[in-house]
Structure 1
Amino acid sequence: MGSSTRVRARPCQWCGREIADAGLGRPRRYCRQSCRQRAYEQRAAVKGSSVPEDAVVLTAEEAAGLSDRIYQVRCAAEDVAGAVAEGAGAAELRQLCDELLAAAKAADGWR
């Protein structure tokens, strides 16, 4: 009998990128050493404070940018819903879905 290893995609706990888990040993938490280092630095920065260790701290500029990207996703989704309700053709729906996907990808890469 051969042994098979299951590969599961998990998100990096720092940046959210997918990391493959070979199923052997303890699952990886970070996709690369730099993500592991940033997570350590954040834990060290909040240690001894009232901020939870797993808190995400954003500057006002970062929070505003994230809010803008989320708003773009919502608007793109509303455009798709409106086009469907109006009976838009496949080409128009494809374009709107592409725009929605691009907005979602931009919002997802916020770290």
Structure 2
Amino acid sequence: MVLTAEEASSLADRVYQVRCAAEDVVTAVEEGADHAELRQLCEALLRAARAADGWR
């Protein structure tokens, strides 16, 4: 598979967004966030993961 520089940059951005969303979930768990907040963060993580998966 060959990606253009623009496609590679876009994919890298989406992967970074997934990592940040996952870090947000970990931080919230460590800080004892309630169910509603964790649910919102997990939904954001799923959105980011789906966007990153859209490169295929």
Q: Shared fold (TM-score greater than 0.5)?
A: yes
Query: Relative contact order: is structure 1 or structure 2 higher (C-alpha 8 Å, sep ≥ 6)?
Result: 2
- Corresponding residue of 1:86: 31
Give the total of aligned pairs: 56
| Percent identity over paired residues | 75
Q: CA deviation at 1:86?
A: 0.1
Could you state the TM-score of these two structures normalised by the residue count of structure 2? 0.98
Residues in 2 aligned to 1:106 and 1:90: alpha-carbon distance in whole angstroms: 24
Deviation sequence 1:22-59 (CA, Å, 0-9, x none)? xxxxxxxxxxxxxxxxxxxxxxxxxxxxxxxxxx1000
Q: What SS does structure 1 have at the residue aligned with 2:9?
A: helix
Higher percent of residues as helix? 2
Identify, as 1 or 2, the structure richer in strand.
1
One-letter identity of the residue aligned with 2:41: L
Gap runs ≥5 in structure 1: 1-55
**Equivalent residue in structure 2 for 1:77, among 22, 26, 33:** 22
Task: Provide the alpha-carbon RMSD of the alignment.
Answer: 0.4
Aligned to 2:55: 110
In structure 2, stretches of 5+ residues that fail to align are: none
For residues 93 and 110 of structure 1, the distance between their equivalents in structure 2, rounded to whole angstroms, comes to: 27
